[in-house]
Structure 1
């Protein structure tokens, strides 16, 4: 009888255990238990979101870089202009003869020295790149300081204008564009132009003339803006 009662008791205990919920109503599951049971929960989604945001940020950066490259390749070229400190001197120098113009003289100075008053090629000196023998004949004291200084743009630029006017006279009667011929004479010497009856077949001289001819329209454009922005002594 006691054995039957014990068996009944064990069977009842087992039945009650089977019927109990995994988590009694009074027991709150721990967060760790919930997350382990739910692999698709919030904790599992966060890495994916971070990767998506990183991809969007990288895409935005690549778009900005691409736009920057396009702007750089298609931007308008920067045009050269006369340095303001030399503007009045160039304007004054062009009044020496009617053949000169501010854009032409400016383009020549650009080609000669890039506006560097200390330029020294070993054979020519200063902002206008005078050969010593040419400077000895054409260099003058335009500043009134008692010295004809090839390194002083205030002396060299007026001398450049005077010498160019002389060259325009020298090449008269030679077929061709007078400005191109005078520029060629400045580079190669008037004797070379007179002998060739035109621009000499000297690559350096030919490239020199072409370069200045290409620069003149650019200086024409920027000079017009300079004189309209800040009134200064009128030039050609």
Structure 2
């Protein structure tokens, strides 16, 4: 009789598997329903944050596009100016030659009347805002223009181009730069030649140190007006060249020659 062999069982202890849910590891109820609910809450919270982030980015992009569009519109001449572009270019070149600074004169009309031929102020009329006495003088100085007609836009453009050239040659010089010469010219157009001459003379009377250069507008003549001049007139007169040469002129960069004003404040 054969004795049966004993079977040896190797018993190896293994730790029970750890639950994947941290709440279950802490001893909470280990129900699939509870774990699913928590996972759904986490998923829902993440989804809400994602939607909020997408909405925020969309609004930010919309605001950026709106700002770019507004800036692009602000950097273009007004529509009213386009009607007179050809007239101004032709008359400016007739008075100044092919290198006429059309951009400056366009900026000047923009500043004077915003391209409204019927513009009227207490002292001046029309597109170029001629005072009556100056309009009459211009008509006598250049008979080919015909009688003074400041409310006629073509007459105003022709008269302004010639009057600017006359001021530029006689009262703009001497000047350190073309920008200074145009600033003197515009100052005379706005406030009269007499006040410009007084301002230049007052500049030359300043002490040697730091001194005042009467051939320079920015930081020199502009900063030393004749003390007999009214403060409101000084403010308006100093603002006039700055607005035209530094602010308005870049709008008309595609119209013709510009006057560069490097270093001007």
TM-score normalized with structure 1 length: 0.61
- What RMSD over aligned residues (CA atoms) do the two structures have, in Å? 3.8
Structure with higher helix content? 1
Give the conservation status (yes or no) of the 8 Å contact 1:80–1:222.
no
Q: CA deviation at 1:182?
A: 0.7
Bigger Cα displacement from structure 2, 106-115 vs 68-77:
68-77
Bigger Cα displacement from structure 2, 108-117 vs 49-58:
49-58
Give the number of equivalent residue pairs. Answer: 184
Give the conservation status (yes or no) of the 8 Å contact 2:103–2:255.
yes
Give the conservation status (yes or no) of the 8 Å contact 1:128–1:156.
yes
Report what 2:106 is aligned to. 106
Deviations 1:94-134 (A, max 9, x none): 12135842111101111111112122221111111111111
Match of 1:181 among 181, 184, 196: 184
User: 1:163 and 2:157 equivalent?
Assistant: no
User: C-alpha distance in 2, partners of 1:222/1:204?
Assistant: 28
Q: For residues 175 and 131 of structure 1, do their structure 2 counterparts lie closer, same or farther at Cα, with a shift above 3 Å needed? A: same
Match of 1:203 among 235, 238, 241: 235
Q: CA deviation at 1:172?
A: 5.3
User: 1:92 and 2:90 equivalent?
Assistant: yes
Report what 1:231 is aligned to. none
Deviations 1:132-161 (A, max 9, x none): 111121248x9x997642112111111111
Unmatched runs of 5 consecutive residues or more in structure 2: 1-32, 35-42, 201-213, 215-220, 226-233, 257-265
TM-score normalized with structure 2 length: 0.55
Q: For residues 193 and 145 of structure 1, do their structure 2 counterparts lie closer, same or farther at Cα, with a shift above 3 Å needed? A: closer
User: C-alpha distance in 2, partners of 1:166/1:146?
Assistant: 18
Q: Which has the larger radius of gyration?
A: 1
Give the conservation status (yes or no) of the 8 Å contact 1:139–1:155.
no
Q: For residues 215 and 145 of structure 1, do their structure 2 counterparts lie closer, same or farther at Cα, with a shift above 3 Å needed? A: same
Q: CA deviation at 1:89?
A: 1.1
Q: For residues 206 and 100 of structure 1, do their structure 2 counterparts lie closer, same or farther at Cα, with a shift above 3 Å needed? A: farther
